[in-house]
Structure 1
Amino acid sequence: MLVDSHCHLDFDVLADDIHGVLARARENGVGHCVTISTRIRRFDTVRAIAEANGNVFCSVGTHPHNAHEELDITIEEIVTLSEHPKCVAIGEAGLDYHYDSSPRDAQAKGFRNHIAASRITGLPLVVHAREADDDMISILEEETGQGAFPFVLHCFSSGAELARRGLALGGYVSFSGIVTFKNAAEIQEVARFVPADRFLIETDAPYLAPIPHRGKPNQPAFVRHTAEKIAELRGVEFETIAEQSTRNFARLFSKTGLAI
């Protein structure tokens, strides 16, 4: 069985065909998905999708693009929303210096609030990091020094040093369809050296469809291509990657109750 540990089923291109999307996922061996929150004020939408589908879980959080819009939401409010039975993670939150859609100080403050919520609840923090490696390392190391929290560097597209430092702090690294791209040599190298018990796979659907579907809307069914590429890079069978990534998911996202 495969798990898509990060997708956005509430985005229109997927939400408009939710039953077809999930059916195709099952046909490709994807047993579970986590639909990820990008705005806490829209949490009701992702929660409703999780409630309506037994094999779908959700998270609660504010994407760094929207950090400045939701700084008034308290840590306590995030914690309270996360108590829903189908909510299994905090985030996604972090730093995105590629678009800088939100002021960097707002991104950092929002990120630290989500770290606090993760630390309080014990739920894994889904970390978004783009072109912000140095600041991301600084915040993760500083915050871990104040108390450990579980986290995953989702849709990994950063430098190898961030992966190494994140792993040293106990974090996980999640690979998306980017790892199948021809120009992704550094990410492919990270996929080779991440320990077998510390990696996840995801789609980030509807974005970043893997080869051979690049340029099309992504969907959870396509996570299989990412698993196949990682198997190739690591020189192991596809079934090994499927088993390892699913076990890792169950360990990190323990609230799902999936058997390890």
Structure 2
Amino acid sequence: MDGETAADLVQLRREFERFLMRYKFGMEEISTKLEILRQEFGLLDGHNPIERIEHRLKSMDGILEKAARKGIEPSFEALREHVHDIAGVRVTCSFVSDVRRIVDLLTSQDDITVVAVKDYISEPKPNGYRSLHVILDVPVFLSGGSEAVRVEVQFRTIAMDLWASLEHKTYYKYETKVPQHLLDGLAEAAEEAARLDATMERLHHEVRSYRPDGDERMPRRRPAVRV
């Protein structure tokens, strides 16, 4: 490798780092918005709908691998336009109603633009996967001005997250060639997780509506998801 080629590679890596920097900031903006909601509920409400907030930034190799798999041109413009999960945030909630409540509160903020919604809770994937994915544009303020950065936010219940973790470990172990009996077991487990979510939701509402004097309060109305 001659000096000029090495210098070109160093320059390309620096440009990629600058490209990823924007996504890192966008991811942190969304995480901060969610953390504010989480802390507010923790202080003011008897029930905090957010159990856990996690985030991750795809590596350069991961982005290029996905681009090659999807037939996307490996240019910054094409990656920005077609790869929507470079920056990802995952929110784990206790109940399905909590998922929809937090989605509504986040997406109704004035500086958030909803790009797409994939509701795999209402319509699960064939393998049983359940989650609610929202792709958002959030402004990031840099020295040269404001830029809209795309971030994918996944919302799950605890049961959905447990199932997704098991499914991921299974496919990793078998390198995507999973025996049919395990696929059947995962599908059955997905149904069990959905039933558990429904049962826990019902019990949660009964507990929230209970009053020591024996009178039950009317259930609290949740705001409708506007996405």
TM-score with structure 2 length normalisation?
A: 0.23
TM-score with structure 1 length normalisation?
A: 0.21
Larger radius of gyration: 2
